[in-house]
Amino acid sequence: MKTLAPHFPRTRMRRVRRTDWSRRLVAENALTPNDLIWPVFVHEGEDLAIDIPSMPGVKRLSLDLLKVAAKEAHDLGIPAIALFPAIEHDLKTDDGREALNKDNIICKAIKAIKDAVPEMGVLCDVALDPFTTHGQDGLVQDGYVVNDPTLDVLVGQALNQVEAGCDIIAPSDMMDGRIGAIRDALEQEGHRDTLIMSYAAKYASGFYGPFRDAVGSTGNLGTGDKRTYQMNAANSDEAIREVALDINEGADMVMVKPGMPYLDICRRVKDEFGVPTYAYQVSGEYAMLAGAGLNGWLDREKIVMESLLCFKRAGCDGILTYFAIEAAKNLQG
């Protein structure tokens, strides 16, 4: 779109910036609590909130505290919570079989939220890394994460979560064909209204470190990495192919991860497909902003709210962010 305007002084761009009301009147994007999804880490125990040192202010919650947190989020207008498990080490196996346990911590967390706040949307990650001894998102054979055998486990994990009451299945594993396999299984089992938010463009990023601390997979991964299935940070066109495939396989919504370093991908996805598009403001992004705020280097409220608004400007319909609660409170004034 080309905008034509007369020259200065007939045109003065600062006219509409002069007052608060005029700035609000011409604002092109707006952030509301409806745009926020709150990622929460859960673990076993009672009345137990454990600090995550690399994510100052973020805690792992036991199920009783999760109920309280869900009620607060709902009262603030946040539509959905994303659940991530920190499971005990002795439950981790090479094949991640705990992901299929109908009484695992995620299934119990889903039920806890639905009991406390039935109207709250629940999003569940589908990947094996929190449940495996090796910290990879899929099954490993001869040192390689194998695609097709992993799909069967991911389908089982997804069905397990949906049967517990999950509303949005969010496959983050980046195995080829997993959206189609999960969608077909959901249809066959009668779960026709279950949403899929695909981690369609998930990059092999250094910004995930604090998250792995939170779910207890850092030590398991060791010197390994996830570059054989997560995307290369150098690539943009590849992300568009990934998104197209996932839409064709049945994804209702797509996600870009990480968020702030990949706003160009968010914009391309929204422009090219027009589908509901989300970004994950990941743990490393949170740690940078929170750390700068704690040290007095930056104004925390300003940078948090600015960063979230920039996701909207880049075309995102919503953001998964650990700042969801404080952002919602800021928006309430």
Q: Could you report how far apart the first and last alpha carbons of the chain are, in Å?
A: 35
- The amino acid sitting at 15 is R
Q: Which two tokens stand for residue 83?
A: 């659940």
Going by their DSSP bridges, the two strands 49-51 and 59-61 should be labelled as: antiparallel
Q: Which residues are catalytic?
A: 202, 257
Partners of 85 in beta bridges:
42
**CA 55/CA 302 separation, integer angstroms:** 19
Cβ atoms 47, 41 nearer than 8 A: no
* DSSP run (H or E) holding 106: helix 105-116
**CA 57/CA 28 separation, integer angstroms:** 32
Ranges of beta strands (E only) in the chain are 36-42, 49-51, 59-61, 80-85, 121-126, 140-141, 144-145, 168-171, 195-202, 253-257, 277-281, 318-321
- Do you know the residue count of the chain? 333
Verify cis geometry, omega within 30 degrees of 0, for the bond prior to 9.
Answer: yes
Helical packing angle, 178-188 and 237-249, nearest 10°: 10
**CA 113/CA 117 separation, integer angstroms:** 6
Verify cis geometry, omega within 30 degrees of 0, for the bond prior to 261.
Answer: no
- Tell me, rounded to whole angstroms, the distance of Cα 299 from its chain centroid: 25
